[in-house]
Structure 1
Amino acid sequence: MGRIAGKVYTEATDLARLERRVTELPVNARVRVHTCDRGAIEGVVTVTPTVQAFRDAADNEGTNGVVKLEDPGRPGWTELVWLDEITRVDHLDSVTKGSSRA
């Protein structure tokens, strides 16, 4: 993945919101993420997302992050979802932060 994001954030309130999303997406959790543009997407979190530095199309530096989802029932299917696009996370199993080690 490149280092270009659709949107980047620099304000403390935005960074805190992104960090909260990370805590809702532990590795191996089966989730349904609701997005502002693409509806609901279901999958298993393959790697705990991190908030990282990106640049936007205007070359402004800021922060964003992605979560990678896979679906064991659909081999080869993966989806990257920007953390800032997620409006809600529904957990579809019992995996919660701290109970899964990977």
Structure 2
Amino acid sequence: MAQFAEHVVTDQAEIERLKAMILVLDEEARVEVELDDGRVLTGAVAIKPTLQMFIDPQGNEGTNGVLRLDDALEPEKPHFIALASIRRVRRLEPDQHTILRRED
């Protein structure tokens, strides 16, 4: 049974972008993410996200995923972020300055 999400992805190029993003979001990786609404969150990836099938409010089926990010300042308050709402990901480890950015 599919889960519900505010936004689902059906465009193959966007699905490939989500797949590339997941490659950077290793479990326990320290990252900074910029969201579509302009917020920038920093923390540790709790669990490596996966792509799943979701249904949006209009009943459309598509792909998305959920990132659980343990906040750097308040780790007891995790963020659950839809992958499709992430504009940019930056790894914070000194040896990995990977940046993925969605081109709008």
What TM-score range do you get, normalising by the shorter chain? 0.7 to 0.9
Alignment of 1:76-87 (within 5 A): 76-87=76-87
Aligned residues: 95
In structure 1, C-alpha distance between the alignment counterparts of 2:63 and 2:78, rounded to whole Å: 23
Alignment of 1:2-41 (within 5 A): 3-41=3-41
Kindly state the Cα deviation for residue 73 of structure 1 after the two structures are TM-superposed: 4.9
Find runs of 4+ consecutive structure 1 residues off by over 2 angstroms: 71-75
Structure 1: where are the runs of 5+ without partners?
97-102
Task: Look up the match of 1:74.
Answer: 74
Deviation digits for residues 38-92 of structure 1 (CA, Å, limit 9, x no counterpart): 4100110010000100000011111011100113652421001111111111112
Q: Percent identity?
A: 35
Kindly state the Cα deviation for residue 21 of structure 1 after the two structures are TM-superposed: 1.1
User: RMSD in angstroms over aligned alpha carbons?
Assistant: 1.9
Deviation digits for residues 1-41 of structure 1 (CA, Å, limit 9, x no counterpart): x8111111122112111111111211110111011114100
Of structures 1 and 2, the one with the larger relative CO (CA 8 A, separation 6+) is: 1
In structure 2, C-alpha distance between the alignment counterparts of 1:21 and 1:87, rounded to whole Å: 10
Match of 1:88, SS state, is strand
Match of 2:66, SS state, is strand
TM-score scaled to structure 1, two decimals?
Answer: 0.82
TM-score scaled to structure 2, two decimals?
Answer: 0.81
